[in-house]
Structure 1
Amino acid sequence: MSLLSLSEVSAFYGASQALFKVTLRVNEGEVLALLGRNGMGKSTTIRTLCGLVPAAGGEIRFDGHDLRRLPPHRAARLGLGLVPEGRRCFAGLTVEENLTAAARPGPWDMTRLVRLFPRLGERRGQLAEKLSGGEQQMLAIGRALMTNPRLLLLDEATEGLAPIVRQEIWAAIATLKRDSGLSILLVDKSLRELRQVADQAVVLQRGETVWHGPMADLGAEITDRYLGV
């Protein structure tokens, strides 16, 4: 069953069109990888479906709701959990305060979250600004999970992290896929890791969907044409 669907979505930054015809679908319990070279519209797609960038055309539906008609906070309450590019933790709040600030009732609570990211339990009373980059990324993911979302949106969740921390983040994503039943839409450049967790893939080229299908079918021809340097 489709949880999120975008159909020929367009969007602008001022007078510049960033999205032309973005079409994708995320089913219940599915992991979708959103792929493309830098500047092809991946983050803009995430921001547009969350309402942070207004959609100029097309259709965005989440669990039967027309997201184009809702402000971002209403979309979030429907079950969108965003982990934005750049983390954007509340620097002057502690780890626990960051996690509880947006918490909503549901299966994700501090106990369960600390099982996923034990380091957050160890740093519970520490200010977010004092955490390492990897710890801040765990905190950003944890904060989104504490909203008890139905769809987790991960925008470049492993970018710029040390290899060992990247492994921890990918292990957490694999655990979420296996144990939580969450739907996940993720943007990342690591094809090797994506192939281990993603069910489906969508490739963007200049703000338009140019390929979609099972991740297992994403072959060398497509990756060389649209993802290669």
Structure 2
Amino acid sequence: MSLLELKGITASYGPSQALFGVDLALEAGEVCALMGRNGMGKSTTIKVICRMLKQSAGTVQFNGRDLGPLPSYKAAQAGLGLVPEGRRCFGPLTVYENLIAAARPGAWDFERVCALFPRLGERVDQIAASLSGGEQQMLAIGRALMTNPTLLMLDEATEGLAPVVRQEIWAAVATLKRESGLALLVVDKSLAELRHVADRAVILERGTSVWSGRMDVLDAAVADQYLGV
């Protein structure tokens, strides 16, 4: 049984339907890229997984458990960790306070997060609102890791960052894949970077899963058809 399995997910924002049939499976310890052009339903799919948006049809199974009836905080407690689009750090709180705000016991603690992102250790008493965008992204990832999830979801974690910071984030993702044993679901537009870290990929087109398979067999024709501008 897959760690995470979505079958036939449809979902709407009020009268506007956003998902029309999303299927996705992710194994324990695997990295899956969730891809598609802007507005194709990637972030909506993440919201459904995290129970921030209820599906109108289909099922979400996580670790053998139906997440459908659960509120979002119960889904988080079940082992889902989210790095949301736009970071959403707690601006008035310090780096340390952000990291411990939702921390749960486990392998990921303050020291380990600072080993992954040394800049956070250097700015431990600095308020989050005064950090650079890249540092806030590191903080958002560290905060999610300190919930000690089984599955970590990163929604556009490199969006809007300087190239050198983007590389730091991708290096951290590679480290997580290599050393953490976490399953990762990564939403990003950088196919070149995703090829280095993802085992599998799912592509969405207009709220529907249109391609799924191993990343190493995703060819240029498919990428151009569904991901090209």
TM-score category (smaller protein): over 0.9
SS in 1 for 2:68: helix
Residue type of the partner of 1:37? R
Partner of 1:200: 200
Cα drift, residue 2 of structure 1:
1.1
Gaps of 5+ in 2: none
Residue type of the partner of 2:54? P
Q: Please give the alpha-carbon distance, in whole angstroms, between the structure 1 residues aligned to 2:143 and 2:55.
A: 26
Partner of 1:132: 132
Partner of 1:87: 87
Q: Any runs of at least 4 consecutive aligned residues in structure 1 with deviations exceeding 4 A, and if so which?
A: none
Q: Please give the alpha-carbon distance, in whole angstroms, between the structure 1 residues aligned to 2:63 and 2:147.
A: 17
Partner of 2:72: 72
Q: Please give the alpha-carbon distance, in whole angstroms, between the structure 1 residues aligned to 2:184 and 2:62.
A: 13
Q: Please give the alpha-carbon distance, in whole angstroms, between the structure 2 residues aligned to 1:150 and 1:193.
A: 23
Q: Please give the alpha-carbon distance, in whole angstroms, between the structure 2 residues aligned to 1:113 and 1:223.
A: 34
Residue type of the partner of 1:211? W
After TM superposition, the score normalised by the length of structure 1 is: 0.99
Partner of 2:49: 49
SS in 2 for 1:18: strand
SS in 1 for 2:59: strand
After TM superposition, the score normalised by the length of structure 2 is: 0.99
SS in 2 for 1:8: strand
Cα drift, residue 122 of structure 1:
0.3
Residue type of the partner of 1:189? K
Cα drift, residue 110 of structure 1:
0.7
Q: Please give the alpha-carbon distance, in whole angstroms, between the structure 2 residues aligned to 1:165 and 1:76.
A: 28
SS in 2 for 1:55: coil
Q: Please give the alpha-carbon distance, in whole angstroms, between the structure 2 residues aligned to 1:181 and 1:132.
A: 29
Residue type of the partner of 1:162? A
**Are positions 1:12 and 2:8 aligned together?**
no
Partner of 1:225: 225
Number of equivalent positions: 229
Matches within 5 A, 1:19-168: 19-168=19-168
Partner of 1:184: 184
Deviation digits for residues 141-179 of structure 1 (CA, Å, limit 9, x no counterpart): 000000000000000000000001000000000000000
Cα drift, residue 51 of structure 1:
0.6
Q: Please give the alpha-carbon distance, in whole angstroms, between the structure 2 residues aligned to 1:155 and 1:101.
A: 20
Q: Please give the alpha-carbon distance, in whole angstroms, between the structure 2 residues aligned to 1:68 and 1:87.
A: 26
Q: Identity of aligned pairs, percent?
A: 67
Q: Please give the alpha-carbon distance, in whole angstroms, between the structure 2 residues aligned to 1:40 and 1:31.
A: 20
Deviation digits for residues 104-125 of structure 1 (CA, Å, limit 9, x no counterpart): 0000001111110000000100
**Are positions 1:211 and 2:214 aligned together?**
no
Residue type of the partner of 2:156? E
Gaps of 5+ in 1: none
